[in-house]
Structure 1
C-alpha cells in the first residue's frame, strides 16, 4: 500500500476532496504536518492573530459557500481559544471541521507541553468530537468528520491528532464523497400543513438560515409567491425576498406575529428571536397555531407542541408543500386582505424611517449611518454585523437584496465574530463589497486581526458605531436600578488609528454630513478601512423581552 509522506498529507487530501480551499489557522508546532500537507496539496493557508478568528473565518466560509469550512488549531490553549467559534458554529448549524493538535500519545500522561484531553471540552458544542485512532486510520477518520459535519442538520465536528501520529507515515485514502439521498418529507405531514393554511385567515411564513444552507431559496420564494403568504425573514434567510417585495413584511413583524392565526416557521429554531414560538394574542387575537419545518427531525422544536411539523430536505419540503396546497384547494382569497394590511403596515414603517435615516442630529443618531450606507451598497454586498445596539439597527434597516449575504453571530450572540467573518467574506466573494459593522464594544474583541486583513491583502470596509458605552447593558441597567456599572468605554476612542497603525486606513467622523463622503472614501480605498463614527450614547435601541 502506497504511503503519504505523513498523516498530515492524508488529512489535507481528504479535506480538499470535500471542497475545502482554505485552511484557517494560527501557527503551532503540534500541527506542522497539516501545514506541510496544505503546501503539498496546494491549499491556501491563512493565518490569523487569535484562534477564535480562525474558527469564525471557517464558519463564515461554510455559511457563505455552503461547503465545509476548515480551522486548524494547535494543542491546549489553541483549541480552548477556539471554543467560542465552535459554539457559534454549533448554534448556527454551520458545517465546520476543526482539526486540533494533541500532545504525543507516546508521552501521554507524563506532562507534555499543552497536554489536554480536548474532546470532552468540545463534545457539548459539536456533532462529534474525537481523537484520531492512529496514523493508519487518519484518512478514514477525517472523512468521517466531514461526512458528519455536512449531513443535515449540519454542524461542527472536532478531531484532534496526537503529535507523533500526525508526523508518522499514513496510507493514501480514497474518498467516497457520494452525495447522500436527500431526506424525503412525510407526505401526510405536508398534507396536514396544507390543511392548516387552507383554514387560516391571518397566516405568516418565517424563512430562516437553513433555507439558504439547504439551497432551498428557489423553492421558498416559489411557495411564498404561489400561495401569497406574507413573509418574515430571519438570519441568512434575509434576502430570500428582496426589499420592496409585496410579500416581505419583516417591517410589520410586530403586527404579523401579534395577530397571526397561523405561523409557519421554516429553517430556524423557535428560540428567543421568535418569542420561543408563542405568536398571536395581541389586540384580542387568540394565540396562533404554529407549524415548525426543519431540515432534520432532530431540529423540530420540543419545548412547545406545534400543531404540525415536517422534516426533510427543505427544497423537497417546500415544493411538496406547494403541491399539497394545490391538492387541498387552498384559497389565497381567504387571507388576501390580511396580506394587504401587513404590506401597508410595512410600507408605512419604511416611510416613517426617512426622518431618522436622514437625521442631522448632533451627536449623530445611529440610524443616519444606515441611511448613508444604504445609498452605497451594491446588491451583492456582504454585510456583517458584530455588535449590540449599533448592529441591531442594521438588522432592522439594512435589507439584503440577495440571500446568503448577511452574517451576524446568530443565536449564540458571541461578540468578536466580525474580523473572522470579514476575512472569509473577502476570500469567498472577491468581487463583492464586504462591509463589517462593529460596535465599539465588539471592536475590542478582534480588531487586532486587521493585521491579518493587511498581511493577506484583503480590503474590507469597517464601520464602527462608537458611542463609548456597552449600550445593551447600560440603558437596561439604568432602567432596572437607576444607575449603571461596568458599562462605560472611552468616548471617541480612535479605533481608526488602530487600523492605520496595523497598515490599513481610516478616519473619525463626528458630524452627520461627514458620513457619506467617508463611506465613499472607504469603498474607493482598496485597503482595510475603518470609518469610526461617534454616535449619540443617549439613544437606546428599542426592544422588548419577547424578541417580537
Structure 2
C-alpha cells in the first residue's frame, strides 16, 4: 500500500473513488491537507462565502447527479454554519458527506482555537456522525462515510479529523465502491396494494423525490401509463410525467385528494405537504385508503396506519406491482371516468389562469412573472425555488418537462438554499438554463454568494419577486391579529444592484411589459444576472389549512 504525503491525500483519494468531482468549501486552516489532497488528485475546489452554501451545493449536487456530494468545513463555526445545510440534506435524503476540521488532539481540552466536539451536534440530523480515530484510519473512515451515505435510505454523514492527524503521514487506502444490493420488496405487501387498486374507483398516485433519487423514473412512468393512473408529483418527482401529459393532474390537486378513494404515495413522507396522509372526505366522499411505498423500511409512515405499505428498491417496487396488478385483475376502465373528471378539472384550472398569467395590472401580479417565464424556459431548464409566497406560485405554475430538473428546499423549508443550489446546478448541468427563483426575504440569506458565481464563471438567471415584506408571515398575521410585526422589508430594495456590485448583471422591473425583455437579456447575458421584479404586496398566495 502506497504512503500518502499526509492523511488528507488518503481522504480525498477515497472521495474521488466514490465519484466526487468537486469539493465545496470555505477556506480554513484546520482542513488545509484536504485542499492539498484535492490538488494532488485533480479535484475541483470551489470556495464559497458562507459554509451553508458549501453544504447546500453539495446537497444539490447529490440531488441532480444522484451521486454523493462533498462539503469540507473548517472547525467550530465553520461546521455550525453548515448545520442547516446538513439538516436539509437529512430531510431530503440526500447522500452528502461533510468532512470537518477539528482542533489538534495533542492540544485537546486546553482551549485550542475553535475547539469543539462536533459529532454530538450533528448526530440527530445525520445517518452517522463520528471523529476519525487516527491518521492511518482516515481512508477507511472516509470510505465508511460514503458507503453509509449512499446506502438506502440515503442521507448525510459527518466525519471530522483532528488537525494533527490530517497533517500526519498516512497510508493510502484502496476503496471498495460496490453498488449496494437492491432491497427486494415483499411480494405479499405488493399483492395487497394490487388488490386495493382492483377495488378502487378513484385512485391517485403521488410520485415523490425518492422515485428520482432511486433511478426509478422510467419504471414509475411505465407503471402509471400501463394502468392509466392519475398522477400528482411531489418535489423531484416533478417532471417524471412531463408538462402536458394526459395523466398529470397537478392542477386538479384539491379535487383529486379530496375525493379519491385510494391514494398511493411513493417515495415521499406522509408529511404536512400531503395532509399527513389524510385524503378524501370532501363533498360526501369517504376517507381514502392510503398506500405508502418507500425505498427503505425506515421511511414508512409510523404516525398513521396505511391500508398497505411496502419498502424496497423503487424500480423493483413498480415492476413487481405491475405484475401483481395483472394477477389481481386490475382494470383501468374501472376508473376511466375519474381520470376524465380530473383531466377536465385540470384543463379548466389552466384555462382559468390565462388572464392573470398575462395580466397588465400595476403593481405586477406575481402570476404574470410566471406567465412570461414559461415562454422562455427550455425543456431541460433547471428551476430552483428559494422563497415563500413567490416560490409557491412556481410550484403551481412551473411544470418541468424532464425529471430531475426541479430543486426546492424540501420538507425542512430552509430559506437560503438558492445560491448553493445554483452553484451546483450550473456545474452539474453546464449546457442547461439554470433559473433561481428568489423571494426578497430569501435573497437576504445568501445573496453574497453571487460573488462565488462570478469568481467561478457560473452564469445563473435569478428572478426575484420583490414585494417588500415577508409575505408568508405578514398576511396570516393580519388575518389572525388584525396587525403584523416583524414582517416588513424595505420596498423596492435594489437586490439587482447588489448583483451588479458583485460583478454580475441585473435590472429592476416595475411594469408587466418589461418582464419578458428583461428575462431575455438575462438569459443572453452569459453572467450571473438578476431580474428584480417589484410585485404587488397586496397579493397573497391562496392557501388552505389542511395541507391538501
Where on the TM-score scale, by shorter chain, does this alignment land: which range?
Answer: over 0.9
CA distance in 2, matches of 1:378, 1:2: 48
Q: Deviations over 1:304-328 (max 9, x none)?
A: 0001001000000001101110111
Give 1:191's aligned residue.
Answer: 191
1-structure distance, mates of 2:172, 2:502: 42
Superposition pairs of residues 214-293 of structure 1, within 5 angstroms: 214-293=214-293
Structure 1 residue 109 corresponds to structure 2 residue 105: no
Residue 77 (structure 1) shift? 0.1
For residue 322 of structure 1, what is the aligned residue in structure 2? 322
Q: Which 4+ stretches in 1 moved above 3 angstroms?
A: none
TM-superposed deviation, 1:513: 0.2
Tell me the equivalent position of 1:366: 366
TM-score by length of 1: 1.00
Mapped partners of 1:255, 1:355: distance in 2:
22
CA shift digits 1:285-312 (9 cap, x unpaired):
0000000000000000000000100100
CA offset at residue 17 of structure 1? 0.4
In the TM superposition, what is the alpha-carbon distance from 1:76 to its structure 2 partner? 0.1
Matching of residues 520-531 of structure 1 within 5 Å:
520-531=520-531
Distance 2:6 2:324 in 1: 54
Task: Tell me the alpha carbon deviations over residues 328-355 of structure 1, each in whole angstroms, 9 at most, x when there is no partner.
Answer: 1101111110011001111111111110
DSSP 3-state at the match of 1:341:
helix
State whether structure 2 residue 207 is matched by structure 1 residue 179: no
Give the deviation of 1:545 after TM superposition.
1.9
1:126 maps to 2:138: no
**What residue in structure 2 maps to residue 77 of structure 1?**
77
TM-score, normalising length from structure 2? Answer: 1.00
Instruction: Return the alpha-carbon distance in structure 2 between the equivalents of residues 539 and 304 of structure 1.
Output: 36
Distance 1:352 1:317 in 2: 38
Cα distance in 2 for residues equivalent to 1:214 and 1:471:
35
Residues of 2 paired with 1:163 and 1:402: CA distance?
Answer: 44
The reply to whether residue 344 of structure 1 matches residue 370 of structure 2 is no
Q: Distance in 2 between matches of 1:546 and 1:235?
A: 18
For the residues of structure 1 that align with 2:326 and 2:203, how far apart are their CA atoms? 17
Task: Name the CA distance, whole Å, in 1 between partners of 2:190 and 2:403.
Answer: 25
CA offsets 1:182-209 (integer angstroms, 9 cap, x no match): 0010111111100000000000000000
Residue 292 of structure 1 aligns to a residue whose secondary structure is strand
Q: Which runs of 5+ in 2 are unaligned?
A: none
How far is 1:172 from its partner? 1.2
Taking the aligned partners of 1:442 and 1:100, their CA distance within structure 2 comes to 27
Alignment coverage as a number of residue pairs: 548
By how many angstroms is 1:479 displaced? 0.0
1: CA distance, partners of 2:40 / 2:415:
35
Q: Tell me which residue corresponds to 1:386.
A: 386
- Partner Cα distance (2:409, 2:463) in 1: 17
Cα separation, 1, equivalents of 2:92 and 2:328: 34
Aligned to 1:335, what secondary structure does the other structure show?
helix
Match of 1:312 in 2: 312
Distance 2:545 2:235 in 1: 19
User: Aligned partners of 1:66, 1:199: CA distance in 2, in Å?
Assistant: 36
Q: In the aligned structure 2, how far is the partner of 1:390 from the partner of 1:364?
A: 12
Q: For the residues of structure 1 that align with 2:179 and 2:406, how far apart are their CA atoms?
A: 27
Mapped to 1, the partners of 2:387 and 2:395 lie a distance apart of: 11
**Does structure 1 residue 19 correspond to structure 2 residue 19?**
yes
Aligned mates of 1:78, 1:101 — CA distance in 2: 9
**What is the correspondence of 1:374-523 to structure 2 with a 5 Å cutoff?**
374-523=374-523
Tell me how far apart the structure 1 counterparts of residues 391 and 439 of structure 2 sit (CA, whole Å).
7
Q: For residue 111 of structure 2, give the secondary structure of its aligned residue in structure 1.
A: coil
Q: 2:539 — aligned with what?
A: 539
Q: Give the Cα–Cα distance (whole angstroms) in 1 for the partners of residues 483 and 97 of structure 2.
A: 45
2:296 is aligned to 296
Q: Partner of 2:447: helix, strand, or coil?
A: helix
How far apart in 1 are the matches of 2:29 and 2:233? 44
Cα deviation digits, residues 13-64 of structure 1 (max 9, x gap) = 0000000000000000000000000000000000000000000000000000
Question: Hey, what's the Cα distance between the residues in 1 that align with 2:540 and 2:180?
Answer: 48
Q: How far is the alpha carbon of 1:178 from its aligned partner? A: 1.2
Q: C-alpha distance in 1, partners of 2:427/2:172?
A: 30
User: What is the aligned partner in structure 2 of residue 30 from structure 1?
Assistant: 30
Shift in Å at residue 2 of structure 1? Answer: 2.7
CA RMSD of aligned residues (A): 0.5
Q: CA deviation at 1:243?
A: 1.0
Q: CA deviation at 1:180?
A: 2.0
Per the TM alignment, residue 3 of structure 1 is displaced from its structure 2 partner at its CA by 1.2
SS in 2 for 1:205: strand
Deviations for 1:64-99, whole angstroms, at most 9, x for unmatched residues?
A: 000000000000000000000000000000000000
Shift of 1:546: 1.6
| CA distance in 1 between partners of 2:468 and 2:135 (Å) | 52
For residues 347 and 473 of structure 1, what CA distance do their matches in structure 2 show?
31
* Deviations 1:479-505 (CA, angstroms, capped at 9, x unpaired): 000000000000010000000000001
Give distance in 2, aligned partners of 1:251 and 1:10.
51
SS, match of residue 338 in structure 2: helix
Can you give the 5+ residue segments of structure 1 that lack an aligned partner in the other structure? none
